[in-house]
Structure 1
Amino acid sequence: MGAALRSFFVPVPHQTVCVLQRFGKYTRTLTPGLNWKIPFVEEIAYEHSLKEQAFMIYAQNAVTKDNVIIQIDGVLYIQVDDPVKCSYGAQKPIDYAQILAQSVMRAEIGKLTLDQTFEEREKMNALILAGLSEAVQEWGLKCLRYEIKDIKVTENIRKAMNMEAEAERTKRTEILHSEAKQQSQINLAEGQRLSKILKAEGLAESIVIRSTATVQRIEAISSAMNSEEGDLAARFNLAEEYLDAFKKLEGKQVLVNSDVNNPKEVIKKALDMVDARLK
């Protein structure tokens, strides 16, 4: 009884489909769950997993646009999208997809230079995926993504690439050094310019302050001379200037009509000169 029931009912696992044929002709697709079939008339011809599957694309030689031979491999991620096409569209659709992936990869590598194959890996993945997706649709497959796994070059090419990279690093270092030196010179010149400007501004401000002080002093003396003790103030101011002039003669050999070592005589001489100028 149990065997008889099993011949009528077909349990299908999750994420799996079965293709049913009647007398060798496609009848329907069995979805996950419990399905029925006519014993001895219908049979399960194909069974497909709807899960994502990864397939290794083994290393192969390819020639870049600048005629460099490289070895490149990758990983192809595909999924059964149409079970009927996958069953009847090709004899071994997944194997064909892997062979096609190798062919498309070689074709795309031939469009790029060696440097571009390393710099534009994401772009290459996208181009290979686009070339595969259109072709495998007829086989009921869907290419989810393609990843280039490794790119290998010969030992001579690797040494040349290392030398080129070292030369590029040296050039960048020299450029940075020259730019830093140039910036340093610019900063130094700017600092000197600002220093001169500040000194000039300080000198101008000092001249203004001295001029203001001189004007205020003259005004004070003029005001004092108009007062009752103005003559005494003028005499004192002129005598003070006379003494300041004598102080500046210290350490110098100058012929004067006074004994500079005798303060009383110097002051008396200064006051006499002041009186002579006021008369």
Structure 2
Amino acid sequence: MEAIFAALALLTIGYLIGSVKIINQGYEALVERLGKYIATLKPGVNFIVPFLDTIVWEETTRERVLDIPPQEAITKDNVSLKADAVVYWRILDLKRAYYAIDNVEEAIQNLVLTMLRSEIGQMELNETFSGRKEINQALLQELDEATEPWGVKVTRVEIRDIIPAPKVLESMQQEKAAEIKKHAAILEAEATLEYMKRLSEALRSQPNSKEVLQFLLAQRFVDANFRLGESPNSKILFMDPKAMTEALAELLNSHNENEEGKQK
């Protein structure tokens, strides 16, 4: 008899131990009995029926991060690029996340890839750089609607990098360099014009303006030839200082005549 009672005691203790399930904070678990869903276990101490009940899935309900690898896409103006993103999401309903979709994380990733290609395909290349906020908002809204039946909440979507194809990137850099060069040329031309105006005003008040003009031109001529000689791609260049002086003198006389005409 004592052996029977001891065996029963051991079975009882084993039953009690097997029936107690502790779920950690931030997690939930699904229980099936004989293959059918019966309950969702919350954080804390829970009880199940040993041998009949089975915990089929225990998962966190905290917010998590899903990295989306670089994805090839084509813009509205037929430019190839790669874009990647980060998705912040969490499970609201563990039961639906398990039974409504086979692999919820993989499903979210596939959705993001499809929607990202679609959004970029509606924009031109320049718009993708300046419109990241709009892309993020559009993806968030579409993902939130698509994942709601799965018991999932997408809280945030962030586009990390948008990188054009190497040839496109090289073309953009060349275009930027040409823009900078053009701007520098405009500034130099404006500076030269301002210098000529000031020189013209100064020479008008000089009785020996022609000699001063010749000296300045000669100085400019020497400086220009010195810089040309230092250049690794220098070439022999013949310039006529006299012709330059005459041309500038004519320009100065014309300017003086115009000023006198305005005063009359």
Q: Which has the larger radius of gyration?
A: 1
Would you call these one fold, judging by a TM-score over 0.5?
yes
Give the CA deviation at 1:23.
2.1
Is 1:5 aligned with 2:7?
no
Do the aligned partners of residues 4 and 176 (structure 1) sit closer, same or farther apart at CA in structure 2, a change above 3 Å counting?
farther
Q: In 2, distance between residues paired with 1:55 and 1:34?
A: 30
Question: Pick from 120, 137, 156: which aligns with 2:131?
Answer: 120
Give the CA deviation at 1:33.
0.3
Letter in 2 for 1:153: P
Unpaired runs of 5+ residues, structure 1, are 189-279
Aligned to 1:63: 74
How many positions carry a matched residue from both structures?
Answer: 185
| Correspondences of 1:249-260 after superposition (within 5 Å) | none
Give the CA deviation at 1:46.
1.5
Is 1:18 aligned with 2:29?
yes
Aligned to 1:199: none
Q: In 1, distance between residues paired with 2:16 and 2:161?
A: 53
Aligned to 1:73: 84
Q: In 1, distance between residues paired with 2:180 and 2:92?
A: 49
Q: In 1, distance between residues paired with 2:17 and 2:155?
A: 37
Q: In 1, distance between residues paired with 2:146 and 2:168?
A: 34
Aligned to 1:147: 158
| Correspondences of 1:212-223 after superposition (within 5 Å) | none
Is 1:38 aligned with 2:24?
no
Unpaired runs of 5+ residues, structure 2, are 1-9, 199-264
Letter in 2 for 1:119: S
SS in structure 1 of the partner of residue 101 of structure 2: coil
Aligned-residue identity in percent: 33
Q: In 1, distance between residues paired with 2:189 and 2:178?
A: 16
Is 1:106 aligned with 2:117?
yes
Q: Pick which of 144-153 and 27-36 moved more.
A: 144-153
Per chain length, whose mean CA-contact separation is higher, i.e. which structure has more relative contact order (CA < 8 Å, sep 6+)?
2
CA-atom RMSD, angstroms? 2.5
TM-score by length of 2: 0.63
Letter in 2 for 1:26: Y
Letter in 2 for 1:118: F
SS in structure 2 of the partner of residue 3 of structure 1: helix
SS in structure 1 of the partner of residue 177 of structure 2: helix
TM-score by length of 1: 0.60
Q: In 1, distance between residues paired with 2:139 and 2:183?
A: 34
